Structure 1
Amino acid sequence: MSIYLTAIYKKVVHGYIGFIEELPGANSQGATIEEVRSNLAEAAALIIEANRALAQEEVVGQDVIREPIQIEIAP
C-alpha cells in the first residue's frame, strides 16, 4: 500500500531536519537530504504501525468493522 504525504526539509548547520506535515511525531534528521529522507520514511512507517497496533488492542473482543479508506486531499 502506498500513500502520499508531504515531507518538509530544512537545511541546518550539520545537515538536514525533516518532518511530515500530516503526521505529527514523524520527524528526523540526517547529514544529507537522502539520509533524512530515508530516516523520515522509516519514522512514518513506525508511527503508522504503532498506531495500528494500539487501535487493534483497544478494540479486542469488541464487534467492530475494519476497512480500508481512501481519502482525497486537495494539494
Structure 2
Amino acid sequence: MTYNVNVIYEKDENGYYVYCPQLKGCQSQGDTFEEARDNIQEAIELYLETMPPDDVVELLGHEIITSTIEVALA
C-alpha cells in the first residue's frame, strides 16, 4: 500500500532540516533540498518498517493540508 506522508522543510544557513509531523521523532537533514528529501524518505521508510500495519494505517490514514498565508504588519 502507498501513502502520502507530509513533511516540513526548514531552510537555514546549514542546509535543510526536515521532519514528518505524523511520525513523532521522524526527522532528518541535508545540505540541499534534494538530499534532505531523500534522507527523510529513507527515515520514514525505516520508521514505518518497525510498526504494525494497523498502526501505520492509523497514523497515515488521514491527510494534512498545509498552506501559506500572507500577513501584512503595520
Same fold by TM-score, threshold 0.5 exceeded? Answer: yes
Deviations 1:11-69 (A, max 9, x none): 011100000111112100000010000000100010111223xx8xxxxxxxxxx7x95
For the pair shown, the structure with the greater C-alpha radius of gyration is 1
Aligned twin of 1:3? 3
* Residues in 1 aligned to 2:51 and 2:64: alpha-carbon distance in whole angstroms: 25
- The two structures have a TM-score, normalised by structure 2, of 0.69
In 1, are the aligned partners of 2:6 and 2:64 still within 8 Å (CA)? no
Q: Which has the higher contact order (CA 8 A, sep 6+)?
A: 2
How many residues get paired? 62
- C-alpha distance 32-25 of structure 1, shift in aligned 2 (>3 A): same
Call closer, same or farther: CA 1:12–1:4 in 2, change over 3 Å: same
| Structural mapping, 1:15-54, within 5 Å | 15-52=15-52
Unpaired segments ≥5 residues, structure 1: 56-65
* Cα RMSD (Å): 2.5
Aligned pair in 2 of structure 1 residues 19, 74: CA closer, same or farther (>3 Å)?
closer
Q: TM-score, normalised by structure 1?
A: 0.68
